Each structure stands twice: as C-alpha cells, then as structure tokens.
A and B are shown apart, each in its own frame.
Chain A
Amino acid sequence: MDDRERLKFFEQTVLPHLDAAYNLARWLAGNDHDAQDVTQEASLRAFRFFGSFRGENPRAWLLTIVRNTFYNWLKKNRPPEIAGKLDDEALMVEDVSVNAEAVNLRVADAQTVQRAITELPVEFREMIILREMEGFSYKEIAELSDVPIGTVMSRLARARKQLQKLLAGEFTSEEQK
C-alpha cells in the first residue's frame, strides 16, 4: 500500500470516528480548546501509527490513542496536584455493595447530568463515557484504558454511586426551594 492509499484507507476507517474521539477528549479535558488540541494531536499520531492497526475495531483503537494523548497532555499542562492519582485499593476498601440510597432517582435533564459528570474525577469520568456513551464492554474498556477488568468494574460502580448521589442531591435541593 503506498502512502496515498494508506491515507485514503485511514480516512475511510478511522476518521469516521472523529466525533467519538472529540467527545472523549472534550469530556476528559473539560473544554473545547484543549479538546481540539488533544483530538488533533491524537489523529495525527494515529495516522503515524496506522501500521500497527490490526483492523479490528477502529473506534476503540482511535480512542485508545486519544486517551493516551490526553494523559500525556495532562502531565505537561496541569500541575500534578490537579492531575492527581487515583488509589484504586483505597477505593476497594470503601463499601460499594450495600447502602442503597432511599431515594427515587428520576431521569435528570442533560444540563444537570453534565454538571454531575464534570464533578467526577477524570479516571471515573472516562469509564462513564466509554461505557454509557460509547457502549464498550468491560473487556473492551479494560483493554482500551490498560487496567484490569476488576478495576473497570469498581471504578464504574464508584462513578455511578457518586453520580446517583450528586443527582439525588440535585433533586432534594430543588424540591426544597
């Protein structure tokens, strides 16, 4: 395959997933400007490494690169205390099994949900995006984000618990008004 054909093939297989790439970058970076930088860098990098693409799932492949690009960008551009580091073991200790909120969670509007997702730590946020918006399986998310499946599950559970809390809080405070 010559370079021109390679680019054409890249445009046919990978670029249709640019929306998914931007969406992930936008949720991770938190604003449009940084998201565009990350998406652009990731796309160019994807083309450079297109030879390593095995033709299985171009969307998962591209999003893996977007994710890596984002974390590299984060290291360079934001101080470590903001970037933070999740301690999954500490999370495991905390009980996620029982203690159902005795609240009836209704389907919240997009704006409220968006605020709640934004408040999640970035490692939780990406699990929610990959699972709920992109519909990847636990196994695919584990491969994509290079963590064990157990970690995917515990992060997802924690993220959802926190979202339920945030959204439930939203409703109580609104009902009290």
Chain B
Amino acid sequence: MNCQQTRPLIDPYADGEMDAAGILELEKHFHDCPACALAWRNAQNLKKALKQDALFFTAPAELRRTIKAELHSQLKTESRWNVWNWNWLSAATTSVATACLALLLTVTLTRPSAEQRLTQEIVSSNIRSLMANHMLDVVSTDQHTVKPWFNGKLDFSPPVKDLAAQEFPLIGGRLDYIGGHSVAALVFQHRKHVINLFIWPVNGKDSKPASLTPIQGYNVIHWSEADMTFWAVSDLNGKELMDFVQDFAAGETLNP
C-alpha cells in the first residue's frame, strides 16, 4: 500500500468503517511512513476537537414546553376532523389490519422469550429514566461516592467504575426494578448521550459474551461475568456502545 492509496482511507479508518484486512495494511503503512502517520494523528486530533461537549447545543427548556403544549392543542383540533378524512380512515384500516396480522403472526410463531421480555423492560426503563426527572438518585462523578450509596439498599455490591479517561464519565446511579428484583443502575455519559448500565447478580459462574440487540432505536448490550449480569442501553450507535462495554469490562473495580 502506498501513500496515494492510504490517504483516502484514513477517514473511513477513523470512522470505524473499514474491514479488518484493510486495517492491517493501513497500520503497516503508518508504521513505515511518517507523513501518513502524521495525517492519521491529525485526523484523530480533529475528531477529538469536534467531540467536545461545549460544541453541542441543548434545546432551550422553553422550546421544549412550547412544543409539548403545541402538540397537545393539535391533538384536540385533530380528533374533531379526523373522523371525516377518508385518507386517514383507509390508512387506519390498513394499519389496523396489518397490526392484527402482525400480532397474530407474533403470537403464533414467536412467543417472546424471557430474554426478549427483559430486553424490552430494560429499554422501557431507559426511556423512563430519560423522561421523568428520576435518572439519578445519587448524583456524583466519584465512584467512591456512588458505590457506598448502594450499600444497604441492595443485597449485593455492584462493581462501580469511572471511565472518564475513556470519555465515558460516570454521572451517578439509582435503584431500579427489573425482572422482579431491585437492581443497580449506573449512569454514564458520552458527549450528550446517556448510557444506563443495569447490574444484578445471577446464579452460576457462567460468563456470557457481550451481544448487541437494537430495539426501538436504542442499542442494548448484554453480558455476564463473575456472578453478575450486565445490561447496557443507550441511543449511542452500536460501535460506540460496544466500546463502552469493552472499556467497562477492562476498567478497574473499586474495592469495597
């Protein structure tokens, strides 16, 4: 691989859009060519510069209120004329028919497994945590504060790690209720995205490798190790959430 071939691949490489074979060749070239290695460093630094929290604009609270109010008032006017709108009616009929068929198929072909139900429950809990103001019971970026907070509230001690150095800072924790028992929820942030990590103990020493399930626009990653089961959920893309999971698994646990 020469410089001419290497340069256009630097961006896709930085964006995680290259296959393993290409990556090997590219890294070999970086090793041999200082100019391309510099271009690669520059690409990484630019990415870092663009990922600063300060560059992300947050919707003003007033805008949020206006939109909600506007939606609710639309609802009132809409329901009055909707009944007479034939397009709407036929669309509704079709979608009801489709929904019935889908439901029938779902019920007959696939009864949701325990795992699927759990995944759904995790996602719902994640959505609830984002909506109401109950994301955090303990607000702290300090793992030494978050970990003791769980003592006495749970009958197990969840591993608490701060991944600020990996750009996934811990922002706090809360108690949640999943699958019929109390669980620990750790909350991390990546840029403006929130990651909920649910942890509870399981019987048996079996560890389960991480597997990713996209559901309702969120990504869910589930794995088990050392008597604990972990569910990470976020609207981050799959690759970044997987990075988080790997960083968390590799991170140092605070001793109780």
Contact = CB atoms under 8 A, between A and B. Distances in A.
Contact of A58 (B42, B45, B216): B216
Interface string A1-30: 001100100111101111111110011000
Contact of B59 (A10, A18, A57): A18
A126 to B, nearest CB: 13
Interface of A is mostly: helix
A107 B192 CA distance: 19
Contacts of A19: 56-59, 192
- The interface size bin for chain A is 35 or more
A23 B66 contact: no
Contacts of B50: 113, 117, 128, 132-133, 163
Contacts of B235: 16-17, 59
B11 A153 contact: yes
Contacts of A51: 91, 95
A98 B4 contact: yes
Q: Is the interface of B mostly helix, strand, loop or mixed?
A: helix
B137 to A, nearest CB: 20
B63 interface: yes
A15 B217 CA distance: 13
B207 interface: no
16 contacts: A7-B75, A16-B127, A18-B63, A23-B57, A26-B57, A27-B57, A36-B63, A40-B63, A55-B217, A58-B216, A97-B8, A105-B45, A106-B45, A135-B236, A138-B15, A167-B49
Interface of B: 3-4, 7-8, 11-12, 15, 17, 35-36, 38-39, 41-43, 45-52, 54-60, 63-64, 66-68, 70-72, 74-75, 78-79, 82, 91, 95, 127, 130-131, 191-193, 216-217, 235-237, 240
Interface of A: 3-4, 7, 10-13, 15-23, 26-27, 32, 35-36, 39-40, 43-44, 47, 51, 55-61, 96-98, 100-108, 110, 113-114, 117, 128, 131-133, 135-138, 153, 156-157, 160, 163-164, 167
